Chains A and B, each alone.
Chain A
Amino acid sequence: MTITDAPKIVTGRLAAHDDAHTIARYEATDGYKGLRAALQRAPQSITDEVKAASLLGRGGAGFPAGVKWGFCPPGVFPRYLVVNGDESEPGTYKDRILMESDPHQLIEGILIACYAIGCSQAFLYCRGEMALAHERLGEALNEAYAAGYVGKNILGSDYSIDIVLHWGAGAYIVGEETALIESLEGNRGMPRLKPPFFPAAKGVYLQPTVVNNVETLANLPWLMQHGAEAFHALGAENSRGTRMFAVSGHVKKPGVYEVEFGVTTFRDLLYAPIYAGGIRGDHALKAFIPGGASAPLFYEEHLDLPLEAGVVGKAGSMLGSGAIVVMDETTDMVKATRNLVRFFARESCGKCTPCREGTTWLERILDRIIDGHGRPEDIDLLLDVCDNISPGLLWPPKQTTICPLGQSATPSIVGTIKRFPEEYERYVNAPFSTTVAINGAAYLSPPVAAAATGGSAE
């Protein structure tokens, strides 16, 4: 066990205080000190410090934040910051907590980043379905404007910037940074081709744009106060500081835990009494998703790997968005796979053929297998469709599409067919049986007249 007493960099305040979302509590607990410290410094020195700290992006791709900031071409303005708060990867639950329970920490992080990069406006894109987060962020921004932390001449300095709270409207693909930018411009959230549309060069309105995840930015106030050295002292290899992991599924204590990055292991997180506390009902572990629905499954033999981006990558998966979903021995892996694939099929934006057609067919084939209409050759057919979306079925996956959504549907299929072939065979070899039960009002009631509905917003 490698459980450390690393500080809770981003969740310390909200864990200790129920009113962590108010400006009074925030100011009473070192709030906006990081911003004050930043304003005394040269912007470039802050970017250098974030680089030195090795703060990896916490959204999924894990790219170093300071390096990303440095990609903005010199002499081209205005630059924009877009905050990616469109958390929707299945299993992921962290950014919502930060937005709902400690919004000022995020606002301070945005202000520090914009000061360092030289952004002239920031857009905080919050996922549409999070009504409480909208309310908390709106109130916090209003408080921060009134107190002089945001807006014109921040804290009496020459630094001025608006943070605009922007509401999404329900589309997973918008979490992809170029789709996020399209959405922010008022369009359908379809990804742009890179190159030429690397956001740092051609982002919002084709201007230099930095897109950062909520948790990434929430680290900055602490980093400004304690310095890169203290941050870098935590963790291992390139994975420094702490990270939030949501452990869900078949565990005794599902929860969101902030742990030291790079050294804590999956076993610690899944079994330690202070974390998830073991598998429910003392069942055996069957499989777990280490980093969101896009990540290949891990099994028993991976439990002792540390939560370190490079190590997990070499082992054939990724830490992605910090979403660990645990499945015990009672899990029907074919149904779990169908669930994951259905998500990608429904959320495909439809721009690229391999993703739009491929994920849809994968879902249909899995549906018919589970419904008892599967043929033995359907198992090979699944692999063939996967191979058309991501040739060679490699890790890291090859991409035939503009963004990685399509290929994200393939690892769960490939992994479960390899590991649990007997479960697929049981379905396709079973005698045909109808699974549709016609019993009850749900299937017999008449269609509802349109007149009976309608809004009541007045």
Chain B
Amino acid sequence: MPRLNPDNIELAKEIIGRYPRPKSALIPLLHLAQEQDGWVTDDAMEHLAELVGCTPAEVLGTCSFYEMFKREPVGPYLVNICHGISCHLLGADELLEHAEQSLGVKAGGTTADGKITLEEAECQAACTEAPCLQVNYRYRYKVANEAFDQLVADLRAGKLDDEIPPHGTLARRSTRQHIPTDRAAGPAAVDVNVEPVWLSRNADAPEAKG
């Protein structure tokens, strides 16, 4: 069972360095572990505990609170069908039933080929586009039964791989935040009680260049 690989250790250290206290990086690091392995392994949680300086039990405590972290394997495609109130009014229950029938699994299960995990999800903030679903947190709007079946066929055929990276990857790497060292203001240390230099500036102070 894997710990973080060397590249991800580097990335983890960069993320930790943005925060005044290392444990603040825990949720982003759990995402990183889930990206590496597709789910969050016990070994990864132990590794994260070492990296942020807390106990593995504390990492598990945080990990188990949040819906998105999977502590057992799921398929490379996680299909979340929204059942919030707006989607409920426009056929989410029927869509979910269709999905269960056509995939042959109940919500929470993974298909026999291991490719697709089906879940029902809370409101996804696409209420005007009901009923909606997400595949690995990428949206599909106003989903009819036929469109659902087409989506599943495309996923299985690998046709959407450019648009939808495997489960665990949220933002693709090229789009992640990276703070260049020469531009960073740095994390604001908790125990340094110093007023920011600009705060006491009054209206008569010299104008800033802009």
Contact = CB atoms under 8 A, between A and B. Distances in A.
A146 B179 CA distance: 9
Contacts of B35: 457
B20 A121 contact: yes
Interface string B121-134: 11111111110001
Interface string A134-174: 11111101100110101110011111111011111111100
A200 interface: no
Contacts of A127: 125
A149 to B, nearest CB: 10
B144 interface: no
B123 A78 contact: no
Interface string B25-42: 111101100111111000
Contacts of A336: 85, 88-89
Contact of A187 (B62, B88, B129, B171): B62
Nearest to B54: A186
Interface centre among B123, B134, B186, B190 (most CB of A within 10 A): B123
Contacts of A41: 203
Contacts of B109: 448
B20 to A, nearest CB: 6
Interface string B171-183: 1100111111011
Interface residues of B, number: 106
Contact of B110 (A90, A325, A448): A448
A183 interface: yes
B157 interface: no
A155 B209 contact: yes
B101 A441 contact: yes
Contacts of A87: 125
Contacts of A340: 85
Contacts of A293: 85, 123
A185 B186 CA distance: 17
B122 A90 contact: yes
A450 B187 contact: no
Interface in B69-117: 69, 72-76, 80, 83-86, 88-90, 100-101, 103-106, 109-114, 117
A450 B73 contact: yes
A165 B208 contact: no
Q: Is the interface of B mostly helix, strand, loop or mixed?
A: loop
Contacts of A440: 101
Given A90-B122, A91-B85, A118-B196, A142 B73 contact: no
Contacts of A16: none
Contact of A151 (B30, B114, B184): B184
A80 interface: yes
Interface centre among B28, B85, B89, B104 (most CB of A within 10 A): B85
Contacts of B66: 128, 168-171, 189
A325 B128 contact: no
A151 B125 contact: no
Nearest to A159: B198
Nearest to B89: A249
A394 to B, nearest CB: 23
A452 B192 contact: no
Contacts of A454: 38-39, 73, 114
A45 B203 CA distance: 8
Interface of B: 18-21, 23-28, 30-31, 34-39, 52, 54, 61-62, 65-69, 72-76, 80, 83-86, 88-90, 100-101, 103-106, 109-114, 117, 121-130, 134, 136-139, 166-172, 175-180, 182-190, 192-199, 201-203, 205, 207-210
Given A131-B138, A248-B130, A450-B73, 11 more contacts: A40-B208, A42-B205, A150-B183, A171-B65, A189-B65, A189-B66, A205-B190, A254-B86, A256-B128, A346-B122, A440-B101
